[in-house]
Amino acid sequence: MAEPTDILKQRVRVLSPELGTTGLPTWGGVVADEFLRQLQGTQGIKIYREMRDNDAMIGALLNLIDLLIRQVTWRYDPADSSQTAGRACELAQSSLNQMAFTWRDTVSEILSFLVYGWSYFEICYQKRADGLIGWKKLAIRGQDTLSSWRFDDEGGIQAMVQVAPPTYKLVTLPIEKSLLFRTSLERNNPMGRSILRPAFRTWFFKRRIEEIEGIGIERDLTGIPVLTPPDGLDLWNANDADAVSKRAEAEKVVRNLRRDQHEGIVKPFGWELQLLTTGGRRQFDITQTLNRMDARIAMTSLAEFLLFGTQNVGSFALSSSKTHLFSVATGSYLDIIADIMTRHAVTRLMEANAIPIELSPKLVHGDIETVDMAELADVLFKLAGAGMPVFPDGGLQKHLFELMGLPQPEGD
């Protein structure tokens, strides 16, 4: 029986190809979505690395995130209670444990997407002793080796093109054999958005102020050197070769005068040297300025609690609230890792071993924060007092023993 014409027309409209694109600006595979030129492409990658490695506040923030996530537990949950789903779960878990690098170290590499906005991994497989195919490793492809991206006509990401030492040859890494972790999927930008991006302007001025402060301290300790030539010698006479030479030597002397173990100067006859000192304090407090900038950098990642105790501000209650909010935000990064692993890495592993995709296990992470056992015990006590049947409950007891870090009791 022929279908009505209106239904056929509706199906044609629904199944029509994509007409538009994401609008992500690209030129020859190079993404140009960043409006600050110094943060575009590989130049931006270098700046984000400098921010990570040279700024104490940013370094402390990223180190804290890494250490918090390293202690999180991970597990695979089977798709259902069938034996096939159970074997699929065991395959994924054992493959994770048999990789060349531990899962915790791999997660630490994945977390580089926080600094650069993205991290790219090539999935490498190996044939196991039991005849199954497992993961050999998830090999990172450094952000600074990026040459370009390849997109399809609709803006979909097809591959990363890499130029890396020691061969420096163009290598195409197709997305079907890779994993792309991103903090943001705005307009399907493969480079995501660094969590350090909102802090860039503050960091830029902070770095300059610190440099000026260092120079100012050195000059205040040394004094401003003033070298006066003898009478009759016009250092500014450009037509006198001897005067030009002596002026260059004099400028070199005052530039290189330092207070260190080699300090001292030998004056030619007739020359006079004096040090001018600056009196009094400045009208602005540099320490207060730098503290304000540290606070703004910490604020961009919800990590203001790092400053509690260093500036005589912040109560315990506020600190507890801030640390909880930071833990919740950090947990979202774990969700990103778990989702990408489940949707792409695990499903491909199942396909390689001829296991139905619908039986793919799900990667699940534990909590970042430890539970306050006193508060938990108080909640359980109140629930039991209200008439809720708390015990006996095997599942609840098992969970409580895990939270307390105690071995599971034997028997039922």
Q: 87 vs 76, 83, 96, CA distance in Å? A: 11, 6, 14
Q: Which pLDDT score, from 0 to 100, does residue 262 have?
A: 67
**Residue (of 346, 364, 362) closest to 95 by Cα position:** 346
Q: Which pLDDT score, from 0 to 100, does residue 257 have?
A: 76
Q: Which pLDDT score, from 0 to 100, does residue 317 have?
A: 44
Q: Which pLDDT score, from 0 to 100, does residue 260 have?
A: 65
pLDDT > 70? residue 281: no
Query: Higher confidence at residue 229 or residue 7?
Result: 229
Residue 372: exposure state from Cβ atoms within 10 A (0-12, 13-18, ≥19) = exposed
Spatial separation of the C-alpha atoms in residues 179 and 344, rounded to whole Å: 7
Written as one string, the DSSP assignment of 340-409 is HIIIIIIHHHHHHTT--GGG--EEEE--SSPP-HHHHHHHHHHHHHTT---SS-HHHHHHHHHHHT-PPP
Amino acid at 335: D
Q: Which pLDDT score, from 0 to 100, does residue 1 have?
A: 47
What does the pLDDT average to over 81-89?
A: 94
370 phi-psi bin (left φ>0, alpha ψ -120 to 50, beta other): beta
Q: Which of 186-190, 326-330, 346-350 has the lowest mean pLDDT?
A: 326-330
What does the pLDDT average to over 65-75?
A: 92
pLDDT > 90? residue 105: yes
What does the pLDDT average to over 47-67?
A: 95
What does the pLDDT average to over 243-268?
A: 80
| Percentage of the chain lying above the pLDDT 90 cut | 53
- Kindly report the number of other CB atoms within 10 A of residue 405's CB atom: 8
For the chain, the straight-line distance linking the first and the last C-alpha, in angstroms and rounded, comes to 61
Tokens for 230? 């003898």
Reported confidence tier of residue 127, pLDDT bands at 50, 70, 90: very high
Average pLDDT, the chain: 86
Q: Which pLDDT score, from 0 to 100, does residue 214 have?
A: 84
Q: Within 13 Å, how many C-alpha atoms sit on residue 386's CB side?
A: 7
Q: Which of 49-63, 246-260, 315-329 has the lowest mean pLDDT?
A: 315-329
Q: Which pLDDT score, from 0 to 100, does residue 278 have?
A: 62
Q: Which of 245-254, 306-315, 384-393 has the lowest mean pLDDT?
A: 306-315
Q: Which pLDDT score, from 0 to 100, does residue 359 have?
A: 95
| Tens-place pLDDT, residues 304-340 | 777 765 555 444 444 456 677 888 889 999 999 999 9
Spatial separation of the C-alpha atoms in residues 371 and 383, rounded to whole Å: 17
- Kindly report the number of other CB atoms within 10 A of residue 225's CB atom: 17
Q: Within 13 Å, how many C-alpha atoms sit on residue 255's CB side?
A: 6
Query: Higher confidence at residue 302 or residue 138?
Result: 138
Q: Which pLDDT score, from 0 to 100, does residue 228 have?
A: 87
Q: 292 vs 201, 205, 206, 289, 295, CA distance in Å? A: 13, 12, 10, 5, 5
Q: 340 vs 30, 79, 344, CA distance in Å? A: 24, 17, 6
Q: Which of 45-54, 115-124, 320-329 has the lowest mean pLDDT?
A: 320-329
What does the pLDDT average to over 23-28?
A: 90
What does the pLDDT average to over 67-96?
A: 94
Give the distance from CA 315 to its chain's centroid: 29
Q: Model pTM greater than 0.75?
A: yes
